[in-house]
Amino acid sequence: MLPVLLKVGPITITIIGLMISISFLLASFSIWKKGKEENFDENELMDGVILVSLISFIFSRLSYFLFNPHKLNSFFSLFEFIKTPGYVWAGALIAGIIVLIIFCQKRKWDFFRIGDLSVFGLSMGFILTHLGYFISQVELNRFFFQPHLYYFIFFIFLYIALNLLEKNYRSFEWYKNKRGEANPGFILLSFLLLSTLTNLIIRTIFNSSFSFFNPYFITDLFIIIITIFLFYVRTGKSNLTINFPWFKKRKDNYLKKTNSGPHLKAGMEANK
């Protein structure tokens, strides 16, 4: 096991820390390069990368102690990355998506387009991160029993698969909308679905005290359900409509009012 590469006084450089730093730089470069090809503003794109990365890291760390409160001995435990390591993928993911949605809305960017070009950098980042965890924790007598080995292999295949999907998904008939076009978001949703499903499976296999009420399992399952739902909606073929006035614009509400009050349509009546 080689968790520490160099220690000079209070400064400690670990394999995990080094790999995370390299993965951040590599992921940022990939997002910047693809964003430049899509004609997004380069400076604002990098601002978004730094902001989303920072918030995701903070919430990933907070989520770890929220799911494992017995490990939070004091406030300073949050900053003891070597003594008390731990991050939660789902916490980083949810926080990152929320921040990215807000960031895109303020700049009138398409969130799904940004998401599609970002996942390639994220995949490369996760490859290096899990490699760092594997090297720092590997034991020769338990070489094939390290979960990070399988995360590392998975993200290599996921990166290859995403590149193939990026070239071909626009021809998938089931994903095309009513106009015969493929909406942005396919690559992002594929990344979320496959990575979260794999995370759930690997965590379940290597967790000896598995429970359906485990917060990790519940969070992963929630993300998978939401992703499948978004896949259904993004095809543009869903008949999902909400016809109640409070979901519509104010002017539509007034048009539907009668002397006896608002008329609510639902079910078959709403389709007439």
Report field, pTM of the whole predicted structure over 0.85:
no
Higher pLDDT, 156 or 79: 156
130 vs 83, higher pLDDT: 130
35 vs 40: CA distance, rounded Å: 5
Residue 187 has pLDDT above 50, yes or no: yes
Higher pLDDT, 73 or 6: 73
The pLDDT, as a whole number, for residue 82 is 60
Q: What is the pLDDT of residue 51?
A: 93
Residue 102: its pLDDT value, please? 94
Confirm if 146 and 11 have CB atoms less than 8 A apart.
Answer: no
The predicted pLDDT at position 99 comes to 94
Residues 165-194: what's their mean pLDDT?
Answer: 91
Look at residue 144 and tell me whether its pLDDT is greater than 60: yes
Handedness of CA 71, 73, 75, 78 (dihedral sign): negative
**Tell me, what DSSP letter sits at residue 182?**
B
261 against 91, higher pLDDT: 91
Q: Which residues, at least 6 apart from 64, have a Cβ–Cβ distance to it below 8 Å?
A: 71, 86, 87, 88, 91
Residue, of 63 and 137, whose pLDDT is higher: 63
272 pLDDT above the threshold of 90 = no
Return the higher-pLDDT residue of 99 and 9: 99
* Nearest in space to 51 (alpha carbons), one of 19, 96, 81, 93: 96
- Asked whether the predicted pLDDT for residue 243 surpasses 60, the reply is no
d(CA 247, CA 244): 6
Convert the pLDDT of each residue in 27-46 to its tens digit: 999 999 999 999 899 899 99
Portion of the chain with pLDDT greater than 70, in percent: 78
Output the six-digit token pair for 143.
């070489």
Residue 87 has pLDDT above 80, yes or no: no
DSSP secondary structure letters along 185-236: THHHHHHHHHHHHHHHHHHHHH-TT--TT-HHHHHHHHHHHHHHHHHHHHTS
Question: Percentage of residues in the chain with pLDDT exceeding 90?
Answer: 39
Which of residues 49 and 255 earns the better pLDDT score? Answer: 49
Q: Are 61 and 190 spatial neighbours (Cβ–Cβ below 8 Å)? A: no
Q: Compute the mean pLDDT over every residue in the chain, rounded to the nearest whole number.
A: 81
- The answer to whether residues 17 and 129 touch, using CB atoms and an 8 Å cutoff, is no
Mean pLDDT over 130-137 rounds to: 86
Angle 89-107/111-137 helices, nearest 10 degrees?
A: 150
pLDDT tens for 204-235 read: 888 766 677 788 888 889 999 999 999 988 88
Least confident of 114-118, 173-177, 263-267: 263-267
Distances from the Cα of 210 to the Cαs of 90, 123, 145, 201, in angstroms?
A: 17, 27, 17, 11
